[in-house]
Amino acid sequence: MTLSRLRVRDFRCFEQLDWEPGPRWTLISGENASGKTSLLEAIFFMGRGRSFRTARAERIIRMGQTGFELVGDIQADRAHRLGVRREKRKARWRLDGADLNRMTEIVSLFPVLSIDTSAQSMVEGGPEYRRRFLDWGLFHVEPSFLSAWRRYRQALSQRNGALRTGAKEAFLKTWDEAVASHGEALDHFRRAQVQRLNGCFSEMVQLGLGVGQASLEYQAGWRQDASLSDLLSENHENERKMGHTLYGPHRAELVLRVDGVPARERVSRGQQKMLAACLLLAGAQVFESERGRGVVALVDDLPSELDNFHAERLARLLGRLRGQCFITGIERGRLSGLAPSDSRLFHVEQGQLHPAD
């Protein structure tokens, strides 16, 4: 998987850009607020349909303009051209000249992951961050996952609505059965993904941090001494008071452990950044193993986020992956010292991108 060319119009600080990054490693240096993170954000938007910096798409439009456009030439199973144009709060996606209505086609074609300042949420944030990580991996490696996830979310929404509106017991029990059936299917997929991840994660942590034995523990979102169906049917009264479903995969948790202890209690805050990166890279490694191709890894401001020791180790872990890698940093020399000699180096300043000497 390679992004061979990216054209940008009115995205963040970039008025116009026509860029050919390196086929393997691309390094981007520049001062703070120069635009280097915006380049990664544009690539991420191409693959996820959203920003990793803001939930409000209008904030990524260049000041004074009404929209933006991104066009990428992608080498996957064959050459593809992927484009998005956003005007007047509406985005239009096109693939190889045809309109696209579903983001799933784009996410499947162009898998990207980001290791940025928000990555630490994988360790210290709420369970939703880790559930999202699991589900991203499952979307790419398990063909039946998406329909199971959609069916569960629909059943859960209907059941929550029935709880809030005081629906009769018979009607509520219908949704009990649907939530339990689809929830158990979703739980099955997630457990299989955690099994795939565990060995990769342990190896990544050993190579990246060198501390103890790392492992992942999946907690389903309901007690394992009872069936989900029984718990749902037995707790109508409490759930009516709360107005939502108290048990199911939407309450699941992925616990990161080091030497059997929750990671946030075992490693320092600085080490948590590296631990989060190891988890994300384990996901990339599972993707490679299952799909036979690499992801596009975006690493924002690597040298300043980690000390020299951990930055060098993370760079070595990135080198184990087969996909394309984009890394930003302030100091050009330090950035170059982390990457292979054949990396392509660029410098960005005030929205202008140039090859670096």
Known binding-site residue numbers for ATP: 30-37
> What are the φ and ψ backbone dihedral angles of 85, each rounded to 5 degrees?
-125, 125
DSSP code string of 207-220: HHT--S-EEEEEE-
Q: How far apart are CA 248 and CA 156, in angstroms?
A: 9
Tokens found for residue 242: 């709360």
| Residue numbering of the annotated binding site | 30-37
212 burial level (CB within 10 Å; 0-12, 13-18, 19+)? middle
Nearest Cα to Cα of residue 1 among 287, 350, 265, 337: 287
Integer angstrom CA distances of residue 67 from 33, 85, 86, 222:
21, 7, 5, 45
Q: How far apart are CA 286 and CA 59, in angstroms?
A: 34
